[in-house]
Structures are given as C-alpha cells and as structure tokens.
Amino acid sequence: MFDSLKERLEGIFSKLRGKGRLTEEDINDALREVRRALLEADVNYKIAKDLVERIKERCLGQEVLSSITPAQQVYAVVYEELCNLMGGKKERLNFAAKPPSVFMLVGLQGSGKTTTAVKLALKISDSHKPMVVACDLRRPAAVKQLKVLAEKARILFFGPEEAGSGNVMDVTRKALSYADAHLIDVIIFDTAGRLHIDDDLMTELEQMHKLLDPSEVLLVIDSMTGQEGVNVAEAFKEKAGITGVVLTKLDGDARGGAALAVKAATGVPIKLVGVGEHLEDLEEFDATRMAQRILGM
Amino acid sequence: APGKKIDESFWDGLEEQLLLGDVGVDLTDELVAELRQEAKKSNIKDASALKEKFVDLIVRKLEEIPGMGKPIETKNKPAVVLLVGVNGSGKTTTAAKLASKFTSEGKKVLLAAADTYRAAAIDQLKVWGEKIGVRVVAHDVGGDPAAVIYDAIESAVASDADLVISDTAGRLHTKHNLMEELKKVKRVVERRLPEEPSESLLVLDAVMGQNAFYQAEVFNEALSLTGVILAKYDNTAKGGIILAVAQRMSLPIRYVGLGEGSEDLELFEPRSFVEALLS
Ligand SMILES: Nc1nc2c(ncn2[C@@H]2O[C@H](COP(=O)(O)OP(=O)(O)OP(=O)(O)O)[C@@H](O)[C@H]2O)c(=O)[nH]1
Ligand SMILES: Nc1nc2c(ncn2[C@@H]2O[C@H](COP(=O)(O)OP(=O)(O)OP(=O)(O)O)[C@@H](O)[C@H]2O)c(=O)[nH]1
Ligand SMILES: [K+]
Ligand SMILES: [Mg+2]
Ligand SMILES: [Mg+2]
C-alpha cells in the first residue's frame, strides 16, 4: 500500500522533465504526497498540516524551484524538517542532584510500562543501585510480572506485601523508606495503565507526583499509536507532568509517526526506545533514524 | 434549526474527521469521493442530511460483511477460540471477558493459558479464572503453547465443556518464527477437531493507527482469521482503521472492549461505531 515518499516524488517530478521550470502547482502536487506519507505514518493530522505548511514555504524558495533534482530537494527539506521537529541533541535522563532519583513510568494500558521499568533499571545498573516498585495494584498479576522480570534482571524489587491488595500511596511511601534504608539511589515506579480521560486515575498520578517529586516522569507510548497519541500525551503532560517519552515496540514495522506528533504537540523529548521483549532491548532515541523511519527509508 | 450548506468546508471537515479517526488516507479519499457522487446524484442540499447519508453508506458497507457484529460461534462442542495479536493489545483480558460472558449464558467454558512466554502471563489468566469462576488449563512457564491448547481441548472433551478460549502470547506480526509458532497452535486445534472450524480472533487496540492494517493482513494470512475484537474502545480514539481492515479483508468486527472489568465487552455495533467516528 505504501510506496515510499521518495519514489512518489520521483514519479511526480519525472512527469515534468523537459518542461523546464517548476511551478507552484508542481510543488503542491509534491506536497500532497508529503502529506500523504506523513498521515500514513500516523503523524497527527494537525501536526502534519503545520509541517506541510512549513515545508511548502521552504520549497517555494529558489533552491527547490530552480533545482535540476527537485525530488531530491523536496525530500531533503522534508527530512530536515522532521529531524528539526524531533530535536537535534541527544536527550539524557535527569537524575536528582541529591539521591535518590525517582522515575515514574506512566501511560495507557499495555504500552510497555512494566517491561520498560525493568529494562531501564537494568540499563543504569552499571553505575547505579536501582530498585523497581510495583504500583500497579489493579491489573491481575501486574505485581508478579514486575517481580519476575526484576528477578530475571537481578534488580531490587519492592511491592505490596499481598498481591491484589493495598493502596498505591501506601506502597509509594513504604518504597521510599525502604529505599532510604537500603542505599538505593534510583527508584523506578511502575504504575497501572490508565486512559488519559480517566479523571480518578489521572488524579492518582498527580498525588504520586506530589509525594515523589520525581526527576523523570516518562510517558511510555506504543509506536503503533495512531492519531489519538497527541491527546494522550497532552493529558499526561498536564496531569502527570511528563518529562520524557519512551517509544516502545519499535522492533515491528510501525512507522511511529505518533512519536513526532507527541514531541511537536508537547515539546517533551523522546528519550528512549523499546526494541524488543528482552530486557536488554532498550536504546537511546535517535532523531535522525526516527525521521528516516517515518519516511520509510 | 436551518441546515448548513454543503460547501468546501463541509468536505474538509469530513476529511479531517476521518483522518483524525485513523481511517487512513486511501480509504478516506475513497469514501469522500463516493459521498461526493452521492451528493450529486441525490441532490441533497443540507449538510446534516448528507452526513446521515454518509453514516448509512459506511454502515451498509460494514453490514455487508458476513459475521459483522455477531457473537462467536459456539455450536460445536467443544468450540475453540484463539485470541491473537501484537503485544499488549488486550488478548488476556478479552479472553477473560469472553469466558465470563459465555459462562453467564450457561456455557461451560475452559480457559487455556497458551501464553507461556510473557512474565506472569499465566498468573494473570489464573487470577481472572478465579475471579470469574472458570477453570484455567495451564502448563509451566516456557512450555509449548500447542501442547497447552491440546490439553485444554482434551480436558474440555473429557469434562463435557462447551467452549475453550485460548489466550496466546503477544507477538509482532513481523516476527516470522513467532507467527509460525501460532500456526502450529492452530494446526493442533484443527487436527484434534477436524470437523469443527475454530475461531481465530485478532485483538486490536483502538488507539492504534495504520499499523493495525498490516497486523490484520499478516495474522489473517497466517491463521485465516474469523474476526476482530476492538479492545480499549473506551478510549477517545475512534478505531477507524478497522474500516479498512473490515473492507479490504472482509473481516467482521465481532466485539468491542469497553474497560478493564470482566463485563466490559459488547458486540460491535456498526451504526454506533460510525456515528462515533463522525460525531
Ligand atoms: N515487541 C516488543 N514488545 C514489547 C516491548 N515493550 C514491551 N513489550 C511487550 O508489550 C506487552 C505489554 O508490556 P507491559 O510492560 O506489560 O505493558 P504495561 O504498559 O505495563 O501494561 P499494563 O500494565 O497492562 O498497562 C508485553 O507483552 C511486553 O512483553 C518492545 O519494545 N517490543
Ligand atoms: N481501558 C481498557 N483497558 C483494557 C481493555 N482491554 C484490556 N485492557 C487493558 O490493557 C492492558 C493489556 O491487556 P492484556 O489483556 O494484558 O493484553 P495482552 O494482549 O494479553 O498483552 P500481552 O499478553 O502482553 O501481549 C491491561 O492493563 C488491560 O487491563 C479495554 O477494553 N479497555
Ligand atoms: K472510542
Ligand atoms: Mg504494567
Ligand atoms: Mg496476555
């Protein structure tokens, strides 16, 4: 179904060969394909619209209009704009000046929070003494899932004494004093999946945030997410104060345009990507690779 | 109230709604073109009347597909249902919801814990089983999923159960070996119950975008799916990609998931789905 944008642009501009100079109309044809490619990659409709406007302005400049390789020129502009949108510099995790650093993982149901909690702990365990905390007391066996993964990765685990019971704020408080007593310098809180429109559960995150004053609140979002990703990210930013994004399941073939939209809409940087079910499968986010992916390169 | 005119802003608005609802560019273009023709033909002048026509048009397309909005087949004894899909889409919870639904309709149901891979997946299903009072057939972690389903069917036959609902491990459709493993699970079912076709249902997350289409394509290729369940439809996402899935693959949407509880499952209703998409 998806021809690559590059091929489509070549197709459009090849029709023009011999005609001499490009017109605004030609550029508009090309931009329609750009828009299509962005939408097929799940870039949010409104973000795609703004982006295409910006791209258009640049394409109407001389460098493209007078180019003998307009397809490549347009493509280069699109690519550059995507890279710009996603941020040039590598985004590192924030750690507290005075330990312990607290990280919270938040997001919709099934996005990959629990897995990412342990992946993240494992990733920093060379230079830190992390602990993961089970604050999903709702989903059946969520506590056990975190515990099993933590054991596998040899990461310290803290959870409610009895599965399927207890209170999130209680566990949170106890985890803090446990961490204090055991010289743990990074505490990673797994939380229950929730819809961004669920007021009660979003309030729970607000309360946790207040108590924990976290160094990082990471929104864990599935790379297969569609148009709603923007609203999800905006709501988690407002209610849970997200400071970074983890984009999961990038080992599949999803283009991941939601990532771009999330960054564009909230300004919150993508910091990490999940690339598999194994606990080692967590990587730093790379904006240029992501731009290539969205464009199907 | 006086009706709104059908002008370019009407068409733009419609396109925007469809695209924001994850319908996808190709199908959006097709549907809008079709409605433009319809508008010409029927000479409708009022925007809301035309929109109603549009709802009807899409609903008709959905309803043409056999099995659309219909419950799973439970005539066979035992009937077997495999729930498949990518990681985290909602399979395990949906298995519990279906088990609960059919139990309350008086069927004897068994759950099969054929996700032997993910951490605590078996426990998750067992907790559900206890909650809803349904027996769970399970092996050890790391076991062969095909063996689990085989056992579950044997157990169902021995205990005169009506229905075996099997969870499976989440897998991305791009992972060839995992898709082969799933085919093997299905072959075991077919060999054990050759006369009776089983159901293979793809569980899609309503928040997913265009990738869901490829998921459906590949899972359908591997298993000849008998339908789709749209989980997490209580999200504000519209789930529009299922229109392309339904239409291009002639796959019926059977149920929608509307929450995390065992009762939060309903039959898919084309009309309310389309109305929500265009609201
Ligand atoms: N292929 C792949 N699967 C992943 C990745 N990250 C997580 N998963 C899988 O996605 C599924 C959901 O992951 P979880 O960690 O349970 O997600 P969660 O957000 O904690 O889910 P809830 O607690 O139910 O909201 C599991 O099957 C994980 O193994 C990834 O990067 N790639
Ligand atoms: N809001 C909402 N959440 C749901 C729905 N269905 C499932 N969930 C939640 O989504 C998350 C993932 O559900 P699971 O049933 O574990 O998904 P899965 O496909 O079995 O996941 P894996 O086995 O890891 O691939 C859990 O937190 C569920 O509670 C639904 O209809 N609505
Ligand atoms: K919805
Ligand atoms: Mg979890
Ligand atoms: Mg599962």
pLDDT digits (tens, 9 = 90+) for A156-198: 999 997 766 789 999 999 999 999 999 999 999 999 999 999 9
Q: Which ligand has an atom closest to residue B260 CA?
A: 2
Note the ipTM here: 0.97
Confidence check: pLDDT of A62 > 80: no
Closest ligand 1 atom to Cα of A108: 25
**Chain A residues touching residue B124 (CB < 8 angstroms):** 139-142, 144-145
Kindly report the average pLDDT of chain A as a whole number: 92
Confidence check: pLDDT of A21 > 80: no
| CA distance linking residue B7 with residue B70, whole number of Å | 38
| CA distance linking residue B146 with residue B150, whole number of Å | 6
pLDDT digits (tens, 9 = 90+) for B20-75: 999 999 999 999 999 999 999 998 999 999 999 999 999 999 999 999 999 998 98
For A78, A129, A152, B9, B242, the CA distances from A157, given in Å and listed in that order, are 45, 11, 11, 56, 40
| CA distance linking residue A210 with residue A191, whole number of Å | 15
Low-confidence stretches of chain B (pLDDT beneath 50): 1
Q: Nearest residue of A to residue B173 by CA position? A: A252
Percent of chain A residues topping a pLDDT of 90:
77
Confidence check: pLDDT of A288 > 70: yes
CB under 6 Å to ligand 1: residues?
A: A 107, 109-115, 136, 139, 142, 193, 220, 248-249, 251, 274-277, 281; B 87-88, 118, 170, 172
Q: Count of CB atoms within 10 A of residue B63's CB?
A: 13
What's residue A109's pLDDT? 98
| CA distance linking residue B166 with residue B81, whole number of Å | 6
- Beta-carbon contacts of residue A224 (< 8 Å; ≥ 6 apart): A42, A249, A252, A254, B86, B205, B208, B209, B211, B212
**Chain B residues touching residue A110 (CB < 8 angstroms):** 87-90, 205, 232
Residues in B whose CB is inside 8 Å of some CB of A read 16, 19-22, 24-26, 86-90, 118-121, 123-124, 126-128, 131, 172-174, 205, 207-214, 232, 234-238, 241, 260
What's residue B168's pLDDT? 98
Segments of chain B assigned E as strands = 79-84, 109-114, 135-137, 163-168, 199-205, 227-231, 253-257, 265-267
What's residue B31's pLDDT? 98
The structure tokens listed for B132 are 């809803």
Cβ A109 under 6 angstroms from ligand 2: yes
**DSSP label at A16?**
T
Q: Do A108 and B235 touch (CB under 8 A)?
A: yes
* Higher pLDDT pick, A295 / B90: B90
Given a contact cutoff of 8 angstroms between Cβ atoms, the answer to whether A297 and A4 are in contact is yes
Q: For residue A286, which amino acid is it?
A: D
Cβ B170 under 6 angstroms from ligand 2: yes
Tokens 């073109």 found at: B33
| CA distance linking residue A49 with residue A32, whole number of Å | 10
What's residue A11's pLDDT? 80
Tokens 């009660």 found at: A200
What's residue B62's pLDDT? 98
| CA distance linking residue A161 with residue A155, whole number of Å | 18
The structure tokens listed for A200 are 């009660």
Q: Of all helices (H) and strands (E), which one includes residue A106?
A: strand A101-106
* Higher pLDDT pick, A91 / B94: B94
What's residue A3's pLDDT? 64
Q: Do B87 and A140 touch (CB under 8 A)?
A: no
For A3, A12, B249, the CA distances from A34, given in Å and listed in that order, are 12, 12, 27
| CA distance linking residue A245 with residue A216, whole number of Å | 10
Task: Count CA atoms closer than 13 A to B28's CA, side-chain side.
Answer: 24
pLDDT digits (tens, 9 = 90+) for A243-252: 999 999 999 9
Tokens 């898709």 found at: B179
Three-class secondary structure of residue A235 per DSSP: helix
Name the closest-CA residue to atom 27, ligand 2. A109
Residue A183, class by beta-carbon neighbours within 10 Å (0-12 exposed, 13-18 middle, 19+ buried)?
exposed
List the one residue out of A287, A229, A235 whose CA is nearest residue A262. Answer: A229
The distance between the two most distant Cα atoms of chain A, rounded to a whole number of Å, is: 77
- The closest CB to that of B209, out of A144, A148, A225, belongs to A225
Dump the DSSP string for B104-118: HTT--EEEEEE--SS
What's residue A164's pLDDT? 65
Q: Going edge to edge, which strands form the sheet with B253-257? A: B135-137, B109-114, B163-168, B79-84, B199-205, B227-231, B253-257, B265-267
pLDDT digits (tens, 9 = 90+) for B97-113: 999 999 999 999 999 99
List the one residue out of B269, B209, B272 whose CA is nearest residue B245. Answer: B209
| CA distance linking residue B80 with residue B152, whole number of Å | 10
What's residue A99's pLDDT? 94
What's residue A1's pLDDT? 41
